[in-house]
Amino acid sequence: MPLGTLDRAPPPFFKQGPSALSKLMFFSALALFLMVADTRFRITQPIRAALSTALYPVQWLALQPVRAVQGAGEYFTSLSQANSSSEDANKKLALQSLRTGQVEQLSQENNRLRKLLGLRDQLATSVMAAEVLYDAADPYTRKIIIDKGLLQGVELGSPVLDESGVLGQVTRVHPLVSEVTLVTDRDLAIPVLNVRTGARSVAYGDPSVSGSGLELRFMGSNSDVLKGDLLTTSGIDGVYPPGLPVAKISRIERRAESAFAKIYCAPQALVNGARHVMVVKPVASQIPPRPDAAVVAPVVKKGGSK
């Protein structure tokens, strides 16, 4: 059979169905219908919900690697922030501790200064405020250095007080500073008065007693002294004003083989921690001088009569 006479139509036993153009028009119309119906009646909402529910496990598994990477990054970031916050908190805590210590120290100094002002009002003599600079370098003496000297009017032998009582006596004066010998120094002695009994005695510095103390010497074994008796300045030495607290009796030793009792005292002043003190002029410097004998001698009149 010649080629021109061949039929190009498909064999009748193959069903071809609708044409491609017919399919395009049908599905376009169906899509348009479904869009209009979904917009007006929301008929595809249940289908979307069912598909979302069915696909949720797949989405969860797909998101796990991303979440793991994000979690690791947040962990390290949070750890770094926590370390930084901890360091800042420690610095603030240290600063607050320092400020708390300063407030405590300032509060104590304020209370001591108030007591010093109260003691100043009780004294009739001239006083001068001073600050303790440092302790003397000699380990065998009990001395401190204050920031007042000759230029400020400090006199040799001036008593030095703190808010609790007698602290010592000025034993060396320089132009700008002065040296104060504490009551616990072995070379210092203070005439004292027992407030309870009125008995006078002399208290000597005795640094060997518990590190810093005083001792009443030459007191008989039968002397009327009790533990806790308050000793004040007697005022008979011309240096210390009377009535200033000096020490309290802390221990008494009476021995049968000795005629004298060993009486130990604890100083009232802060011999190891004084910061602000008052320098008092010696009582003797405020006493008027003795009148001249030629002035007070009786005038003898002529004739032998006075």
Selection from 89, 162, 169 nearest residue 129 by Cα = 162
DSSP 8-state class, residue 197? T
Q: Which residues in the chain show pLDDT less than 70?
A: 1-16, 95-110, 112-125, 207-211, 285-306
- CA angle (98, 146, 160) in 5-degree steps: 110
What would the two tokens of residue 94 be? 């240290």
Give pLDDT tens digits for 28-60: 988 888 888 778 777 777 777 787 788 778 878
- Give the pLDDT of residue 303: 47
User: CA 226 to CA 221: how far, in whole Å?
Assistant: 12
Contact 173, 136 (CB under 8 A): no
What would the two tokens of residue 126 be? 């001239």
Confirm whether pTM is higher than 0.75.
no
195 burial (CB, 10 Å; 0-12 / 13-18 / 19+) is middle
- Give the pLDDT of residue 101: 59
What are the structural domains of the chain?
127-286 (2.40.10.340)
What would the two tokens of residue 282 be? 């010696």
Q: Which residue type occupies 50?
A: A
- Determine if residue 228 is left, alpha or beta; phi over 0 gives left, psi from -120 to 50 gives alpha, anything else beta: left
Contact 162, 112 (CB under 8 A): yes
Selection from 286, 289, 283, 288 nearest residue 169 by Cα = 283
User: CA 33 to CA 37: how far, in whole Å?
Assistant: 6
Give pLDDT tens digits for 195-248: 998 899 999 988 665 557 899 988 888 888 999 999 999 888 888 888 889 999
